[in-house]
């Protein structure tokens, strides 16, 4: 407690400096007339002060209406709570001489994890009474000031016990007048430090691995006369940040402490405490603690050190701050993770969470507490870097990352370069301490520390996407997707992406057409998209390819060895012949290597979107049972019908109209048969197979799908040319990769749109399926005005040819165009946008190195949305 004069009779003229934490609750305490409002106006912003008189005026239109006090204080407490929740310095201007009034304010401060600070204005009762008499709007009964003064006197010595972390008592008018407020930064506020940083995970006494890691990070070690490392500095001025758990379990806790303490003392590092430092420090201070989880090893090792060193260790651990806010608030470092509401706050609850985390109250099969998955719910702006719970591989989850990769358990010691977001690891020299719970199990996702869980996908789900907000998945759709995923889909570790459905262009009103490029161009122009690319739509099936550069590439990145995989829009293996799958992947790998794409993109794997031809390669049963059956039935029945009509006409019956209609049906059936047969041709091994890639989706650390389409097509052309070169160089080898034809369009240039329309007519006239029209820039939003982003623009619309649509709508669909033009496209377009956003979200998470369950969440959602009831012909 700060106290100037014990008896209250001597007034000091020396200026009093009152330290006040920059985010705290300041409670002014004093009798009516002590000058609290004047003091508040002089030292604080008007917006920082919450006055009981003002609140009384708000609820009663009269600041002196004492009958409204209860409602006024309800309002005051509400405003105080809202300001503290927002992290604002807040000053309460009220008498606050009664313990109950202060108790409620201390409770609010604790609820919001800020420090309550008391400033007492202890002004003589006579002065207060005179001031009140001079105010015509406030005439108090004679007994009020003496009563308030007695309550104040009783309160003075108990304020700290009530929970106030700082108490400033100003005695007399002169001391109140000379007081100066000094705003102090919170101990955890290091926002002025912007890095760059190297944040190091849990070390647990592994001094040798720490030396290796620091050296790999570029630090130069300094050793004492005994050869022990006592400091490390980076030539580029980088700062090391340690997330705690320096001690216990490992072989050299003193060596780790000596090095880290030296770096901190020299200004080359900062450090937060872990739960193990907390426990070791209490043990060294003589507190009673349970000796477990490697504590005994630390105590035994420190027993061999000097008393001077042990004293330094105790002082170091006592001075550690629970967490730090760095880089203007963009980075938070703590030991066990910290929800956003605790960032920069000060309380025992915050410190406990920062050191120990939060548990569900359950224990797992190994008897260890089940950690509450706070990171899965985190949506904060700051990157939270922490440790505490060992994971096999560090990965980002919702702008958080755990760097405890179990070095002491035989795993690795990991550091995060910030702001680069690069991970640097060194393998443990050995298993120093046997873990109670295995680091890795056989469950998919286990190596990232969080296996796939049925609860992640069952029931109604909401998936957060960066481009389209929250996307809902209905429970019944999730159930259908789970059936497919669990019974038919590929290994989920490989299933990093599912392509979205594609909406057709707006319905055409042209005579004889259901779809035409004109409507697609006009629709994009209305969305503000000027530059488009029209790509040839191939006669095949959508295929996603994951291609490995070498045999171990996928094992390193995805945990599954092999050349890669090819899958359909529903996540099933495209080809049931593993040898043929490997052969196709090998051709793509060779082409990518020859084209230099692996090196250019800095990756040893590629994810591609493509069409695999012929259509019969995947849909042979569909062709036989549905399309071929229709064609065969029409071919068998209609000639007989026409023959019968001709015989009847020969007998003089007037059947001209009926005969004409049947001749048209026969022509339509022939056209239908010719249309689907174009999508079928024989294959043997690789012979006859054609793969037409049109987009590189992802590579190591990069979501490529958001790059402009002309960039993608240039990559694809290089792949196709490289495959052709490889075929030319080998006798009897035929190309597999197929070029995607394209034409660029300017929607504001009639000649450009006319040329694209003519190209489409040429494609479809030759039996082609049609084309896909896409914004050249790939990812485009509509504008809502004043530069604000709007909704997503369709990533592509398909414009199919007249003859191809016979396969979709039936041989004689042109007879019913008026009815078909009533088709509703709204749901299909909405579905396409949602699936597109989910697909890009999956690629973003994959590029960011997030764990499998995070990548799998939007992938599963795409599959679930495919169960929504939409006309499959659209």
User: Is residue 788 predicted with pLDDT exceeding 60?
Assistant: no
* DSSP codes joined into one string, 569-594: TTSBBS-S-HHHHHHHHHHHHHHHHH
User: Which of 92-101, 486-495, 499-508 is predicted with the least confidence, judged by mean pLDDT?
Assistant: 486-495
User: Would you call 465 helix, strand, or coil by DSSP?
Assistant: strand
User: Would you call 292 helix, strand, or coil by DSSP?
Assistant: coil
Q: Which residues contact residue 107 at a Cβ distance below 8 angstroms, ignoring those fewer than 6 apart?
A: none
Q: Which residues contact residue 594 at a Cβ distance below 8 angstroms, ignoring those fewer than 6 apart?
A: 722, 723, 725, 726
Tell me the pLDDT band of 718, cut-offs 50, 70 and 90: very high
Q: Report the candidate in 419, 387, 425 with the shortest Cα–Cα distance to residue 403.
A: 387
Tell me the pLDDT band of 815, cut-offs 50, 70 and 90: confident
Q: Which residues contact residue 22 at a Cβ distance below 8 angstroms, ignoring those fewer than 6 apart?
A: 89, 183, 184, 185, 186, 189
User: Would you call 624 helix, strand, or coil by DSSP?
Assistant: helix
Using CA atoms of 458, 459, 465, 471 in order, give the dihedral in degrees to the nearest 10: 150
In the chain, the percentage of residues whose pLDDT exceeds 70 is 94
CA distance 519 to 529: 14
State the pLDDT at residue 3.
46
In the chain, the percentage of residues whose pLDDT exceeds 90 is 65
CA distance 862 to 836: 8
Q: Which residues contact residue 410 at a Cβ distance below 8 angstroms, ignoring those fewer than 6 apart?
A: 428, 430, 431, 432, 439
- Give me the mean pLDDT over the 833-840 stretch: 95
State the pLDDT at residue 435.
87
* Gyration radius (Cα) of the chain, Å: 37
Digit-coded pLDDT (tens) for 263-288: 999 999 999 999 999 999 999 999 98
State the pLDDT at residue 621.
56
Is pLDDT larger for residue 649 or for residue 423? 423
Contact 740, 534 (CB under 8 A): no
User: Is residue 224 predicted with pLDDT exceeding 90?
Assistant: yes
CA distance 121 to 402: 48
Question: Beta-strand (E) ranges in 104-238?
Answer: 115-122, 166-171, 180-184, 189-190, 197-200, 220-223, 229-233
Tell me the pLDDT band of 1, cut-offs 50, 70 and 90: very low
Q: What is the pTM of this model?
A: 0.76
State the pLDDT at residue 447.
74
State the pLDDT at residue 6.
37
User: Is residue 682 predicted with pLDDT exceeding 80?
Assistant: no
Tell me the pLDDT band of 214, cut-offs 50, 70 and 90: very high
Q: Report the candidate in 697, 527, 531, 522 with the shortest Cα–Cα distance to residue 606.
A: 697
Q: Report the candidate in 86, 93, 94 with the shortest Cα–Cα distance to residue 112.
A: 86
Digit-coded pLDDT (tens) for 404-456: 999 999 999 999 999 999 999 999 999 999 988 777 777 777 777 777 888 88
Digit-coded pLDDT (tens) for 19-74: 999 999 999 999 999 999 999 999 999 999 999 999 999 999 988 888 888 999 99
Question: Beta-strand (E) ranges in 679-795?
Answer: 690-699, 702-703, 742-746, 770-775, 781-783, 789-792
Q: Report the candidate in 188, 193, 205, 311 with the shortest Cα–Cα distance to residue 257.
A: 205
Half-sphere exposure of 769 (CA within 13 A, CB side): 23
CA distance 820 to 428: 67
The H or E element containing residue 471 is strand 469-473
Contact 675, 804 (CB under 8 A): yes
Contact 639, 711 (CB under 8 A): no
State the pLDDT at residue 750.
95
User: Is residue 138 predicted with pLDDT exceeding 80?
Assistant: no
Tell me the pLDDT band of 643, cut-offs 50, 70 and 90: confident
State the pLDDT at residue 683.
80
Tokens of 69: 């006090």
State the pLDDT at residue 4.
41
CA distance 376 to 261: 34
**SS3 track for 359-413:** EEEEECCCCCEEECCHHHHCCCCCEEEECCCCCCCCCEECCEEECCCEHHHCCEE
Q: At what angle do helices 125-133 and 144-155 cross, to 10 degrees?
A: 140
User: Is residue 625 predicted with pLDDT exceeding 70?
Assistant: no
CA distance 241 to 273: 11
Tell me the pLDDT band of 626, cut-offs 50, 70 and 90: low
> Tokens 């007492």 correspond to what residue?
120
Rounded alpha-carbon distances, angstroms, from residue 469 to 527, 834, 838, 845: 20, 9, 10, 15
Is pLDDT larger for residue 249 or for residue 657? 249
User: Would you call 327 helix, strand, or coil by DSSP?
Assistant: helix
Tokens of 815: 């007879």
CA distance 200 to 418: 11
Q: What are phi and psi of 188, to 5 degrees?
A: -90, 0
State the pLDDT at residue 783.
66
User: Would you call 649 helix, strand, or coil by DSSP?
Assistant: helix
Is pLDDT larger for residue 90 or for residue 362? 90
CA distance 664 to 668: 6
Q: Which residues contact residue 249 at a Cβ distance below 8 angstroms, ignoring those fewer than 6 apart?
A: 204, 205, 293, 294, 297, 408, 432, 433
């Amino acid at each position: 407690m700060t106290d100037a004069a014990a008896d209250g009779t001597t007034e000091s003229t020396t200026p009093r400096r009152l330290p006040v934490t920059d985010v705290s609750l300041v409670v002014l305490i004093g009798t009516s007339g002590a000058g609290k409002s004047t003091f508040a106006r002089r030292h604080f912003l008007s917006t920082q002060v919450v006055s009981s008189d003002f609140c009384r005026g708000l609820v009663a239109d009269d600041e002196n209406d004492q009958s409204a006090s209860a409602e006024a204080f309800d309002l005051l407490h509400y405003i105080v709570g809202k300001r503290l929740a927002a992290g604002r310095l807040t000053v309460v201007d009220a008498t606050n001489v009664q313990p109950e009034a202060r108790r409620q304010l201390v409770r609010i401060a604790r609820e919001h994890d800020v420090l309550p600070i008391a400033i007492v204005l202890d002004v003589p009762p006579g002065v207060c009474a005179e001031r009140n008499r001079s105010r015509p709007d406030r005439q108090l009964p004679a007994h009020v000031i003496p009563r308030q003064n007695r309550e104040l006197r009783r309160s003075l010595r108990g304020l700290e016990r009530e929970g106030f972390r700082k108490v400033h008592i100003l005695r007399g008018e002169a001391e109140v007048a000379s007081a100066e407020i000094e705003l102090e930064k919170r101990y955890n506020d290091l926002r002025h430090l912007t890095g760059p940083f190297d944040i190091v995970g849990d070390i647990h006494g592994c001094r040798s691995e720490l030396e290796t890691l620091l050296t790999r990070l570029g630090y130069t070690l300094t050793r004492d006369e005994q050869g022990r490392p006592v400091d490390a500095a980076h030539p580029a001025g980088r700062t090391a940040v340690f997330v705690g758990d320096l001690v216990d379990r490992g072989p050299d806790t003193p060596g780790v402490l000596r090095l880290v303490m030296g770096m901190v003392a020299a200004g080359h590092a900062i450090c937060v405490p872990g739960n193990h430092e907390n426990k070791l420090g209490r043990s060294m201070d003589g507190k009673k603690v349970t000796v477990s989880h490697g504590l005994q090893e630390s105590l035994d090792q420190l027993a061999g050190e000097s008393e001077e060193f042990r004293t330094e260790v105790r002082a170091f651990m006592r001075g550690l701050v629970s967490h730090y806010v760095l880089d203007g608030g963009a980075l938070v470092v703590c030991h066990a993770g910290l929800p956003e509401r605790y960032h920069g706050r000060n309380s025992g609850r915050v410190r406990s969470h920062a050191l120990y985390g939060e548990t569900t109250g359950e224990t797992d099969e190994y008897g260890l507490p089940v950690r509450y998955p706070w990171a899965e719910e985190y949506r904060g702006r700051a990157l939270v870097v922490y440790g505490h719970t060992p994971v096999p591989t560090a990965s980002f989850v919702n702008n958080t990352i755990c760097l405890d990769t179990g070095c002491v358990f035989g795993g690795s010691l990991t550091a995060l370069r910030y702001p680069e977001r690069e991970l640097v690891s060194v393998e443990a020299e050995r298993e120093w301490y046997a873990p109670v719970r295995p680091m890795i199990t056989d469950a998919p996702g286990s190596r990232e520390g969080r296996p796939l869980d049925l609860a992640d996908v069952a029931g109604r789900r909401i998936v957060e996407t960066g481009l389209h907000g929250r996307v809902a998945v209905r429970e019944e759709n999730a159930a259908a997707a789970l059936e497919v995923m669990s019974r038919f889909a590929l290994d989920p570790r490989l299933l990093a992406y599912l392509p979205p459905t594609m909406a057709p262009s707006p319905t055409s009103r042209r005579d004889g057409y259901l779809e035409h490029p004109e409507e697609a161009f006009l629709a994009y122009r209305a969305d503000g998209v000027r530059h488009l690319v029209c790509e040839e739509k191939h006669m095949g099936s959508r295929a996603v390819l994951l291609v490995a550069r070498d045999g171990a590439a996928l094992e390193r990145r995805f945990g599954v060895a092999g050349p890669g995989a090819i899958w359909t829009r529903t996540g099933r293996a495209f080809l049931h012949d593993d040898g043929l799958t490997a052969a196709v992947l090998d051709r793509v790998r060779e082409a990518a290597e020859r084209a230099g794409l692996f090196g250019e993109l800095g990756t040893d794997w590629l994810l591609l979107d493509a069409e695999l031809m012929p259509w019969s390669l995947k849909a042979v049963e569909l062709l036989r049972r549905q399309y071929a059956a229709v064609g065969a039935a029409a071919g068998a029945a209609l000639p007989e019908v026409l023959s019968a009509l001709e015989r009847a006409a020969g007998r003089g019956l007037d059947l001209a109209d009926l005969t004409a209609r049947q001749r048209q049906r026969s022509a339509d059936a022939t056209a239908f048969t010719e249309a689907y047969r174009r999508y079928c041709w024989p294959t043997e091994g690789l012979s006859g197979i054609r793969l037409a890639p049109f987009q590189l989706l992802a590579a190591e650390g990069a979501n490529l799908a958001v790059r402009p389409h002309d960039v993608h097509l240039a990559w694809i052309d290089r792949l196709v040319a490289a495959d052709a070169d490889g075929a030319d160089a080998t006798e009897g080898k035929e190309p597999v990769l197929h070029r995607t034809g394209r034409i660029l369009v300017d929607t504001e240039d009639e000649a450009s749109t006319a040329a694209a329309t003519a190209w489409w007519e040429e494609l479809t006239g030759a039996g082609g399926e049609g084309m896909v029209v896409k914004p050249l820039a790939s990812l485009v939003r509509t504008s809502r005005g004043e530069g604000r982003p709007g909704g997503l623009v369709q990533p592509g619309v398909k414009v199919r040819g007249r003859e191809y649509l016979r396969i979709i709508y039936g041989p004689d669909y042109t007879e019913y165009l008026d009815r078909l033009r009533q088709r509703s496209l709204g749901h299909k377009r909405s579905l396409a946008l949602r699936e597109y956003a989910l697909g890009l979200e999956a690629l973003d998470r994959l590029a960011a190195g997030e764990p499998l369950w995070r990548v799998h969440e939007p992938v599963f959602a795409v599959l679930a949305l495919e169960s929504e009831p939409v006309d499959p012909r659209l």
